[in-house]
């Protein structure tokens, strides 16, 4: 029977995380599994707790949203440790890419009996931020600014916070000249954003990269070119289905290493947590993490 260590950050969506863990924890223990819970006071502390548990041969449960999943998954990347996800955030986009069930009984079944599946992770490096490893995507431009606005929103939650954040970001955005290098080949354009996606989803169930797969050893690079603001808002609505990729203003490439540069210091983000400014490089680490799914 598996032994689990659940890592929870009580300061970030703590009530939601605790509630999500409670139902699953009861089912794990009733099945005879051992479960201990560790409470972190920061993402760095969560990574430390995860490494320690993984080195002891325990399955590490990341309890929270994409930031928690990405932080803990990144800490375990390249090790023999096994990660389990208990989705409890606003987006849960990586859990969605893995088709993880939300219902406690079905999720407990996956955690108890699912086979560890190797998935890719993403190494992120920049001049102003230490090397880090994440699970979902790296995005530079208007979406990084939108995520910053969404995180600062206190009155709204879920999809509404992301939508309002996006409206604020787009309204004040000015065209940016990008230089994107994919596996050594340079591509220049003027526009809104670049996303290097391991998972197809980001920003609360937005299907930014419909063809992205978490185990193919590649990143899908989505570049959204300059367009009238009204067209960009229409494109935003199409992110729900992935239909935006058929517009002429959207170009999708695939590669193992992506460097994003711009003509000004625009923000980038990674899994909703890492925030800095370009230039930034994202490199896929094929099959670097084992996940129960």
pLDDT for the residue numbered 153: 61
For the domain made up of 124-288, give the CATH fold.
Answer: Tumour Suppressor Smad4 (2.60.200)
pLDDT for the residue numbered 274: 67
pLDDT of 156 over the 60 cut: no
**How sure is the predictor about 130, in pLDDT bands with cuts at 50, 70 and 90?**
confident
pLDDT for the residue numbered 230: 83
Nearest to 58 by CA among 46, 69, 48, 50: 50
Least confident of 6-15, 22-31, 127-136, 154-163: 154-163
**What b-and-e string marks burial along 183-215, b requiring 16 or more CB atoms within 10 Å of the CB?**
eeeeeebebbbbbbbbbbbbbbbbbbbbebbbe
Where do you find CATH 2.60.200.40 in the chain?
124-288
The string of pLDDT tens digits covering residues 269-279 is 998 776 789 99
Question: Quick check: 217 and 286 in contact, CB under 8 A?
Answer: yes
pLDDT for the residue numbered 10: 66
In whole angstroms, give the CA distance from residue 202 to residue 271.
8
In whole angstroms, give the CA distance from residue 30 to residue 282.
42
3-state secondary structure (DSSP) of residue 183 = coil
Residue 147, H or E segment: helix 142-152
Where do you find CATH 3.40.50.10330 in the chain?
3-114
**How sure is the predictor about 204, in pLDDT bands with cuts at 50, 70 and 90?**
confident
Phi then psi for 134, rounded to 5 degrees? -130, 175
pLDDT of 129 over the 80 cut: no
Percentage of residues in the chain with pLDDT exceeding 90?
70
The string of pLDDT tens digits covering residues 41-90 is 999 999 999 999 999 999 999 999 898 999 999 999 999 999 999 998 87
pLDDT for the residue numbered 163: 67
pLDDT of 37 over the 80 cut: yes
pLDDT for the residue numbered 72: 97
Measuring CA to CA, how many Å separate 62 from each of 74, 172, 219, 261? 11, 35, 23, 32
In whole angstroms, give the CA distance from residue 255 to residue 218.
5
3-state secondary structure (DSSP) of residue 272 = coil
pLDDT of 291 over the 80 cut: yes
3-state secondary structure (DSSP) of residue 232 = helix
Average of pLDDT values for 238-266?
Answer: 96
Assigned architecture for domain 3-114:
3-Layer(aba) Sandwich (3.40)
Under the phi-then-psi rule, with left for phi > 0, alpha for psi from -120 to 50, and beta for the rest, what region is 205?
left
> Residue 274, exposed/middle/buried by CB under 10 A (0-12, 13-18, 19+)?
buried
Q: Considering the chain, what is the average pLDDT of its residues?
A: 91
In whole angstroms, give the CA distance from residue 280 to residue 284.
13
pLDDT of 154 over the 60 cut: no
**Residue 262, both tokens:** 């711009």
Q: Classify the C-alpha dihedral 81-85-89-93 as positive or negative.
A: positive
Least confident of 30-39, 189-198, 228-237: 228-237
Measuring CA to CA, how many Å separate 139 from each of 135, 147, 192? 13, 10, 11
The string of pLDDT tens digits covering residues 137-149 is 999 999 888 877 7
pLDDT for the residue numbered 20: 86
pLDDT for the residue numbered 252: 98
């Amino acid at each position: 029977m598996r032994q689990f260590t659940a890592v929870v950050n009580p300061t970030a969506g703590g009530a939601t995380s605790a509630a999500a863990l409670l139902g699953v924890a009861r089912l794990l223990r009733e099945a005879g599994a051992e479960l201990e819970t560790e409470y972190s006071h920061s993402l760095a502390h969560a990574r430390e707790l995860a490494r320690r548990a993984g080195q002891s041969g325990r399955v590490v449960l990341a309890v929270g949203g994409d930031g928690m999943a990405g932080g803990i998954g990144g800490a375990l990347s390249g090790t023999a440790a096994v990660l389990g996800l208990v989705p409890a955030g606003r987006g849960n986009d990586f859990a969605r890419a893995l088709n993880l069930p939300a219902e406690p009984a079905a999720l407990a079944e996956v955690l108890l009996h699912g086979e560890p599946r190797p998935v890719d992770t993403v190494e992120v490096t920049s001049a102003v931020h230490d090397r880090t490893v994440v699970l979902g995507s790296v995005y530079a431009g208007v979406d990084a600014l939108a995520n910053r606005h969404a995180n600062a929103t206190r009155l709204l939650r879920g999809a509404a916070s992301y939508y309002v954040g996006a409206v604020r970001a787009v309204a004040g955005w000015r065209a940016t000249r990008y230089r994107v290098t994919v596996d050594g080949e340079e591509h220049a354009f003027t526009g809104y954003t670049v996303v290097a996606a391991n998972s197809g989803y980001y920003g609360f169930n937005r299907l930014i990269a419909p063809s992205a797969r978490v185990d193919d050893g590649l990143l899908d690079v989505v570049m959204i070119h300059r367009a009238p603001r009204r067209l960009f808002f229409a494109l935003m609505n199409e992110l729900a289905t992935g239909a935006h990729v058929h517009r002429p203003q959207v170009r999708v490439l695939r590669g193992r290493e992506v460097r994003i540069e711009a003509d000004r210091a625009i923000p980038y983000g990674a899994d909703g947590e890492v925030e800095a400014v370009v230039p930034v490089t994202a490199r896929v680490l094929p099959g670097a993490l084992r996940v129960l799914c």
